[in-house]
């Protein structure tokens, strides 16, 4: 299955997340990640949804979501026309004898140390999901105690904005 990214501007009110996630469950589509955040307009939240499927799933999901009254704008965010970013926090075992190795890896990946204890480190890294996957692969042998990924958030490249698009409910 391929991964597809959809970005949406949705009404910033309770129940909207349930409407969106409920639609996925009901139609049998799989969400890989869902990232919700505030926007420059306090009436709107921005959702970045990564789904696993094919072109059909992407087409159906976008159209079905577009019909929801609380989904104001929606579009697929293809890789070549979008900036994807994700943030990772990872707590890794870091005994004194391994610490310098880990710090070297951190520097290569331009990650940051954000917490330190006698036995552990928390590293923070931002980037495209692939970069995060690569970083995790390298750091894994040292022993990952726990980690948190935010899921992808995306913006389209260039001057075009999601807000410029027409909502389906304006077309009918």
Site string for another protein, 113-152 (x = CB under 8 A): ----------------------------------------
Name the segment binding another protein (CB under 8 A); options: 14-22, 85-93, 122-130, 142-150: 14-22
Among 1, 22, 30, 112, binds another protein (CB under 8 A): 22
156-162: long-range pairs with CB below 8 Å, 24+: 156/7, 156/75, 156/77, 156/81, 156/82, 156/83, 157/81, 157/82, 157/83, 158/81, 162/7, 162/8, 162/9, 162/46, 162/73, 162/74, 162/75
Shortest separation between residue 137's beta carbon and another protein, angstroms: 39
Footprint of another protein on 26-55 (CB under 8 A): 26
**Which CB, 135 or 168, lies closer to another protein?**
168
**Contact flag: residue 19 with another protein (CB under 8 A):** yes
Q: Counting contacts by CB under 8 A, is residue 172 touching another protein?
A: yes
Q: Is 108 in the site for another protein (CB under 8 A)?
A: no
């Amino acid at each position: 299955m391929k991964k597809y990214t959809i970005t949406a501007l949705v009404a910033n009110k309770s129940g909207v997340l349930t409407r969106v996630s409920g639609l996925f469950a009901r139609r049998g589509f799989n969400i890989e990640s869902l990232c919700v955040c505030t926007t420059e307009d306090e009436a709107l939240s921005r959702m970045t949804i990564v789904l696993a499927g094919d072109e059909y799933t992407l087409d159906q999901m976008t159209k079905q979501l577009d019909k929801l009254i609380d989904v104001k704008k929606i579009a697929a965010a293809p890789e070549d026309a979008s900036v994807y970013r994700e943030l990772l926090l990872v707590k890794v075992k870091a005994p004194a004898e391994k610490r310098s190795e880990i710090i070297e890896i951190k520097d290569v990946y331009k990650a940051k140390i954000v917490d330190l204890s006698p036995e552990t480190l928390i590293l923070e890294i931002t980037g495209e999901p692939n970069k995060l996957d690569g970083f995790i692969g390298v750091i894994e042998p040292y022993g990952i105690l726990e980690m948190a990924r935010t899921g992808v958030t995306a913006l389209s490249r260039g001057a075009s904005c999601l807000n410029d698009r027409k909502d389906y409910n304006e077309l009918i």
